[in-house]
Chains A and B, each alone.
Chain A
Amino acid sequence: MTFTNTIIPLFSSALSFVFAIFIFKRYVDRKGMHLLIWGIGIIFYGIGGFSEAYYGAIGWNPLIFRLWYLFGAILVAAWLGQGTVYLLAKRRWANVLTVLLLLGSIYATYRIFTAELDPTQMTTSLHTGSELSGDAIVTSGIRSLTPIFNLYGTVALVGGAIYSAFIFWRKKIFLHRTLGNLLIAVGALAPAFGGAFSRYGIPGALYIGEFFGVILLFAGFIRATTPMKNVESQPVPTPAGD
């Protein structure tokens, strides 16, 4: 048990669940499928963090590992991205993609809960075994699902946030939403970079990336939903004689 492999994911998990409450409260107040799906995605984020903290504090447990891999490694980015799809795409397309994501999620759940696991494999790669790693999955074909879900999630969540920020910036409106979307984009990229560094054997990179990720996502959400006083866009002063 170390600070990096237990306390940091515990904080990530706790913050995720608090964040989820904020999102669901806004969903209750305002409705909107994007809020519901984002809330579900952030719950997945919290489950992933909790599983990491559990493993760091107590040790190996097959159920905890399966929950971590399913929610933390495979589903979280895709479901958060799906929320953004509801915000930006036509409702009909968003519904079709949700059905596909749901079917994919059910298939991933089946594969992960029937997979053969070997925790000793987590110490045979660049990982030290102090953090959870997909290396523990022995059954072939399951780990190849992860980048497919993550590709979709990254394009939808990060791409959607950048696109929204660009549109607001170009129109010079809603500065708070521009800044909020920038924070959301950085927050969504943080775990992805953490995961990439982790593959090169940098200890704690994934957990730290997830920690900063949820902080930035939360900050971005709050920023995007809270108008700024006195610093929104202003009329350009017209030069004298113009």
Chain B
Amino acid sequence: MNNNDSSKTKSSKKQYPRFYEKVIPFALMALVLATVVILLVIAAVVLGIFPGSG
């Protein structure tokens, strides 16, 4: 019974199509990096390091 349950779990595991499986993690990391950069820019504007504020 346990073995059957285990095989059921394995066969029901899902994944995206291969292309998306490879691309999405990179896209997420790039977006996090871009967000950090833009937040730093906004923080620099708030602190008066960056010229202008809008």
* Interface, chain A (partner B; CB < 8 A): 69, 73-74, 125-126, 133-135, 143-144, 146-148, 150-151, 154-155, 158-159, 162, 165-166, 169, 172-173, 175, 178-179, 182, 185-186, 189, 192-193, 195-196, 199, 231, 233-236, 238, 242
Contact = CB atoms under 8 A, between A and B. Distances in A.
Interface string B24-44: 110110011011001101110
A157 B5 CA distance: 41
A189 B38 contact: yes
Given A175-B16, A234-B17, A166 B10 contact: no
A182 B54 contact: no
B2 interface: no
Nearest to B27: A182
The 4 closest A-B CB pairs, nearest first, are: A146-B54, A233-B14, A134-B54, A172-B14
**Which of the four size classes fits the interface of chain B?**
20 to 34
Residue of B16, B27, B51, B54 contacting most chain A CB atoms (<10 Å): B54
A143 B34 CA distance: 24
Interface string B10-24: 111111110010001
Contacts of A166: 28
23 contacts: A133-B52, A134-B53, A135-B52, A147-B42, A147-B54, A151-B42, A151-B46, A154-B38, A158-B31, A158-B38, A162-B31, A169-B28, A172-B14, A172-B16, A179-B20, A185-B35, A192-B38, A199-B51, A233-B15, A235-B13, A236-B15, A238-B7, A238-B10
Given A73-B54, A196-B38, A148 B31 contact: no
B41 to A, nearest CB: 5
Given A151-B46, A165-B28, A234-B14, A125 B53 contact: no
B28 to A, nearest CB: 6
B46 A144 contact: yes
A150 B45 CA distance: 11
A242 to B, nearest CB: 6
A63 B25 CA distance: 45
Contact of B31 (A175, A185, A195): A185
A173 B53 contact: no
Contacts of A135: 52
A154 B39 contact: yes
Given A165-B24, A185-B35, A189-B31, 9 more contacts: A151-B39, A151-B43, A158-B31, A162-B31, A162-B32, A189-B34, A192-B38, A196-B41, A236-B15
